[in-house]
């Protein structure tokens, strides 16, 4: 794992999604740095955390909480699972929780239409072993589906994904398994801090309905939606930063 710190102000932990690294947040980081001291994480097996081969949601949450001050935690996609796990397991370390296009359950199930098909993550895991880069780029394409500037976003993501080296294969498989297996819907009622659920209206991986549902079932929660896809911070960085500043200002000291 690698954690670097930028800016000065209220502490904020920022965690990326599957196959990515903290560099994906460059537009958002620029908007956040004047207001926050941002602890930018590269998860195990990703980016500058590539010295580790495996990834585990619970272990990552524990280690980030131990390595950073009490903070507002912001997690995107897979990173949201880590942030949510920390909020549940180490509530004294998490002042507030922001979930960026990240839901308590990523796969569809009876009574839960707000996720991807159960076969998707298994298919990606198989393809990773056969065609590593192609599988990652196909996942990136899914992330940009529904975005107003899908082609431009896909080009940007392809440029960023390997900018800090190739993510570790085992860690990627661990991440897919975590997305497939985790179901934290019943745990939302136990959140001890305010939460903000930010989604993209056109997101095809984490539908808006998942974000609205989560905000309705978590205590002291609210929902914010942008007209974007799975990575709304690429198009709406200043507006999302403003929302985080306002949310942080309302948190208990």
Q: Which residues contact 210 (CB under 8 A, 6 or more apart)?
A: 103, 104, 105, 114, 115, 199
* 42 strand-pairing partners: 2
Helix, strand, or coil (residue 9):
coil
Catalytic, out of 56, 203, 223, 235: 203
Catalytic, out of 60, 77, 103, 147: 77
* 230 labelled catalytic: yes
DSSP assignment of 154-179: HHHHHHHHTBTBPPPHHHHHHHHHHH
d(CA 23, CA 7): 15
d(CA 45, CA 51): 7
* 134 labelled catalytic: no
* 203 labelled catalytic: yes
DSSP state of 66: H
Residues marked as catalytic: 77, 203, 230
């Amino acid at each position: 794992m690698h954690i670097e710190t930028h800016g000065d102000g209220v502490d904020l932990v920022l965690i990326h999604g599957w196959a990515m690294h903290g560099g994906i947040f460059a537009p958002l980081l620029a908007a956040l740095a004047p207001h926050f001291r941002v602890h930018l994480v590269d998860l195990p097996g990703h980016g500058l955390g590539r010295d580790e081969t495996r990834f585990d949601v619970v272990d990552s949450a524990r280690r980030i909480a131990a390595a950073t001050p009490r903070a507002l935690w912001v997690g995107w996609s897979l990173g949201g699972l880590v942030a949510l796990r920390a909020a549940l397991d180490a509530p004294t370390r998490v002042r507030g929780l922001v979930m960026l296009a990240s839901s308590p359950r990523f796969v569809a199930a009876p009574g839960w239409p707000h996720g991807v098909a159960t076969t998707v993550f298994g298919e990606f895991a198989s393809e990773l072993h056969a065609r590593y880069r192609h599988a990652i780029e196909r996942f990136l394409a899914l992330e940009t589906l529904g975005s107003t500037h899908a082609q431009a976003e896909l080009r940007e993501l392809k440029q960023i994904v390997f900018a800090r080296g190739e993510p570790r294969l085992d860690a990627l498989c661990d991440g897919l398994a975590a997305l497939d297996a985790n179901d934290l819907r019943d745990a939302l009622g136990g959140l001890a801090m305010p939460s903000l659920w930010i989604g993209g209206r056109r997101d095809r991986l984490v539908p808006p309905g998942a974000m609205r549902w989560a905000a309705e079932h978590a205590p002291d929660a609210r929902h914010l939606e942008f007209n974007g896809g799975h990575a709304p911070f690429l198009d709406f960085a200043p507006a999302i930063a403003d929302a985080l500043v306002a949310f942080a200002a309302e948190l208990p000291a």
